[in-house]
Amino acid sequence: ATFDFFNPKVGITYQLSAASNVYASYALANKEPIRSDFTDWPIGQSPKAEQLHDIEAGYRIRTPRFNIGINGYAMLYKDQLIPTGQLNDVGSTLRRNVDDSYRMGLEFDGRWVPTNWFAWGATLAYSQNKIRNFTEVVGDVENFYESTDISFSPDWVASSELAFTPWKPLELALLSKYVSRQYLDNTSSSERSIDGFFVNNVRIAYHTSIWKLKNLGLSLLVNNVFNENYSASGFTWGYYLSETDRLSYNYYYPQATANFLFGLNLKF
């Protein structure tokens, strides 16, 4: 297949003051299907290229003590390629075009440095990720949804980093991440979904110079320090025993419990 695209982008930024600005942008983006989309597509049919209209606007302020940004976006898709929740014969995700879909939301990021020994950085994103007029086909049964959630697209994602420097060569940090419920397919069914999760990592870093070394860096990263049991992805498969009796099999990829990573950095 041959694809010819024109992907323009235009934006404007207005400086409100030396520390703050507002901005807005529009972009048209087209993207071709990947190879596996062609090999996994039903015989006699072909996947279509995706088209995206991306509209964004935001505000940012920067001072010596804090940096805050807020961004709003609307991503309007034609023929978006979305995961179906199923896998092919080698375990890769199956995707299909959907005619009309969108992703809209708000993003926040900030960093606060009140003292020379403490800093807090955080991000927060809320989004609505929807397909309009979607028909799910399971065997001989068709289910129509006027509006439904896109698979593997959580409404909420948040992160935090609390960093402490009790004395200059040593840094301690607590890194946290939250992801809300995700759906394994495109039906918004909690019976085929991944529970939200909240995990924390601890990072310890020490930097010094010794002998002929300009820098000796030691680090320890403890991932999932509270030993949470959670899954971040999965897939589903099922069929109907009757027109109203659906049987689903959900499979999840468990994430590692507490684990450790040591690092050594030498600079001569």
pTM above 0.85, yes or no: yes
Written as six digits, the tokens of 168 are 């200059």
pLDDT in tens, 69-109: 999 999 999 999 999 999 998 989 999 999 999 999 999 99
pLDDT in tens, 152-197: 999 999 999 999 999 889 999 999 999 999 999 999 999 999 999 9
Residue 230, φ and ψ in degrees, nearest 5:
-155, 165
Q: CA-to-CA distance for 251 and 244, rounded, in angstroms?
A: 22
Whether domain 9-267 has CATH 2.40.170.20: the reply is yes
User: Do you know the residue count of the chain?
Assistant: 268
Residue 72: count other Cβ atoms within 10 Å of its Cβ.
Answer: 14
Give yes or no for residue 215 having a pLDDT over 90. no
Averaged confidence pLDDT in the chain: 96
Residue 25: count other Cβ atoms within 10 Å of its Cβ.
Answer: 15
Q: CA-to-CA distance for 233 and 230, rounded, in angstroms?
A: 10
CA pseudo-torsion sign 187, 188, 190, 193: positive
pLDDT in tens, 231-255: 999 999 999 998 889 999 999 999 9
Strands (E), 116-245: 118-138, 141-149, 156-167, 170-179, 182-183, 193-194, 197-210, 213-223, 231-240
Q: Among 38, 150, 139, which residue's Cα sits nearest to residue 88?
A: 38
Q: Among 181, 124, 195, which residue's Cα sits nearest to residue 153?
A: 181
Domain boundaries, the chain: 9-267
In a 10 Å sphere around its CB, with 0-12 CB exposed, 13-18 middle and 19+ buried, how is residue 77 labelled?
A: buried
Residue 109 identity: D
Give yes or no for residue 4 having a pLDDT over 90. yes
pLDDT in tens, 32-79: 999 999 999 988 899 999 999 999 999 999 999 999 999 999 999 999
